[in-house]
Amino acid sequence: MEKVYNIEGVKCGGCAAVVKEKLSDIEGVETVEVDIAKKKLIVVGTTDKEVLQKALSDTKFKID
């Protein structure tokens, strides 16, 4: 299932790469895309928002 979230703190390709790296390792996540211009996070898989945010807890990025 594809889920789209707002994501705060992503300003460049490097930021997007960090988000993709951290979230891609989560069980249940199939693909991760970050739209920097629209500040959107697109995740395909069966994981919920709380698990995704926990994986980013040591970063400046916030899923809304």
Task: Assess contact for 34 and 28: CB atoms under 8 A.
Answer: no
> In sequence order, what DSSP letters do the residues of 29-51 get, joined into one string?
EEEEEEETTTTEEEEEES--HHH
**What percent of the chain stands above pLDDT 70?**
100
For residue 18, with 0-12 CB atoms within 10 Å meaning exposed, 13-18 middle and 19 or more buried, which class applies? middle
Mean pLDDT over each residue of the chain, to the nearest integer: 97
pLDDT tens-digit map of 44-64: 999 999 999 999 999 999 999
pTM of the complete model: 0.93
How many independent structural domains does the chain possess?
1
- Residues spanned by the domain of 18: 2-63
**CATH number of residue 41's parent domain:** 3.30.70.100
The percent of residues in the chain predicted with pLDDT above 90, rounded, is 100
